[in-house]
Amino acid sequence: MRIGIDIGGTKIIAGIISDAGAVTSTKRIPTGAARTYGAILEDIIRLIQELINESGLQKRAIDRIGIATAGQIDKESKKILFSPNLRWHNVDLRGDIEKAIEIQTCIENDVNAATYGEWKFGFKGVPKDVLGIFVGTGIGGGLIVDGKLYRGFSNVGGEVGHTILNPYGYRCNCGNKGCFEAYCGGWYIVKRVKKRIQEGYRGKIGDIINGDMANLHTGTIEEAYLLGDEFCGHVWQEVIEYLGAGIASLVNLLNPEIVLLGGGVIYSTKHLIDEMKVVLNKRAMTASLHGLQIEKAKLGEEAALLGAAYIEE
């Protein structure tokens, strides 16, 4: 048995995973991202202990703990160099968990873990070359190359969200301009529409959200676009074009067998993948498109748990 943990900006999920790769039980807590590293570490340790106790397992039955977290992981020390969601710098989460729980622990970038989990358990490890693109608050990427997770020379490869599509474009939270995620990440899309509404725009989006900004998300923005909302139409057409162009560039570069799409923006919209494909087919090279499959992620939140628990270091 293994334990997989996915640390997000709003919640932490932990799951017991069988040797067959089935998530048998889960437990979750809010992250409280504004709190200190030490406070969140204590919560994670308590979460693991409670999960083991509630499962009825002995600690010795757990072979390994795998942790998935947003951010860059140092190749040698396995410290988290930087985690944008939690604003951690150079923290030894793996070492601290291992010391407290006394179970072998490994740590992996969350989208690497999710891509690996989908590939190994969703696709049974059959395709040898997979590009995972997870479009949520921002955009994360994971690469399976010749049947192995590709991390790059210094372990920080796969940052597809920060490929630059327009050097004079929207400002990204990384400090650069024109990043892929600044055009297609959910937080950025909502920010643009929210700003226009606050300036007095109503349109069909105003009716859909009934004046409540809590109802404003990429699903309702797409709905307004489909109903003919002028501003949301402009925003959403831009999302479609840049998502298709960004994926086309990556397909031309990497020539994957499968492009795997996941994340909140993908799951909350109805036609984005199909409309993106039109742009992809127009912009990618013919040879790169030959045999290419576009697939929606199958495993949801279990993907990162499975990947983190079973990823080969």
Q: What is the pTM of this model?
A: 0.92
Domain residue limits at 216: 124-296
What span, in angstroms and rounded, lies between the C-alpha atoms of 228 and 43? 46
How many separate domains does the chain show?
Answer: 2
The number of angstroms, rounded, from the C-alpha of 164 to the middle of its chain's C-alpha atoms is 18
Instruction: Please indicate, yes or no, whether residues 72 and 8 belong to a single structural domain of this protein.
Output: yes
Instruction: Please indicate, yes or no, whether residues 158 and 272 belong to a single structural domain of this protein.
Output: yes
Closest alpha carbon to 107 in 159, 63, 152, 72: 72
Q: Is the pLDDT of residue 61 over 60?
A: yes
Check if the beta carbon of residue 290 is closer than 8 Å to that of residue 281: no
CATH number of the domain encompassing residue 161: 3.30.420.40
What span, in angstroms and rounded, lies between the C-alpha atoms of 292 and 277? 11
Instruction: Please indicate, yes or no, whether residues 132 and 250 belong to a single structural domain of this protein.
Output: yes
| Per-residue pLDDT band at 294 (split at 50, 70, 90) | very high
Percent of the chain with pLDDT over 70: 100
Mean pLDDT of 283-310: 96
CB atoms within 10 A of CB 75: 13
Helices (H), the chain: 37-55, 93-101, 110-117, 180-184, 186-198, 203-209, 218-226, 230-254, 264-268, 272-283, 286-289, 302-310
What span, in angstroms and rounded, lies between the C-alpha atoms of 110 and 141? 9
pLDDT (tens digit, 9 = 90+) per residue, 133-177? Answer: 999 989 999 999 999 999 999 999 999 999 999 999 999 988 999
**Neighbour-count burial of 195, counting CB atoms closer than 10 A to its CB (0-12 exposed, 13-18 middle, 19+ buried):** exposed
- The answer to whether the Cα torsion of 217, 218, 219, 221 is positive or negative is positive
Edge-to-edge strand list for the sheet holding 64-69: 23-30, 11-17, 2-7, 64-69, 105-109
Q: Is the pLDDT of residue 19 over 80?
A: yes
Q: Is the pLDDT of residue 91 over 80?
A: yes
Q: Which two tokens stand for residue 234?
A: 């402009």
pLDDT of residue 24: 93
Percent of the chain with pLDDT over 90: 88
Instruction: Please indicate, yes or no, whether residues 64 and 204 belong to a single structural domain of this protein.
Output: no
Instruction: Please indicate, yes or no, whether residues 158 and 111 belong to a single structural domain of this protein.
Output: no
Instruction: Please indicate, yes or no, whether residues 201 and 285 belong to a single structural domain of this protein.
Output: yes
| Per-residue pLDDT band at 87 (split at 50, 70, 90) | confident
pLDDT of residue 313: 56
Instruction: Please indicate, yes or no, whether residues 108 and 174 belong to a single structural domain of this protein.
Output: no
User: Strand 72-73 relative to strand 2-7: parallel, antiparallel, unpaired?
Assistant: unpaired
Instruction: Please indicate, yes or no, whether residues 191 and 139 belong to a single structural domain of this protein.
Output: yes
Q: Which two tokens stand for residue 207?
A: 């009716």
Check if the beta carbon of residue 212 is closer than 8 Å to that of residue 185: no
What span, in angstroms and rounded, lies between the C-alpha atoms of 169 and 214? 27
Instruction: Please indicate, yes or no, whether residues 274 and 151 belong to a single structural domain of this protein.
Output: yes
pLDDT (tens digit, 9 = 90+) per residue, 180-239? Answer: 999 999 999 999 999 999 999 999 999 999 989 999 999 999 999 999 999 999 999 999
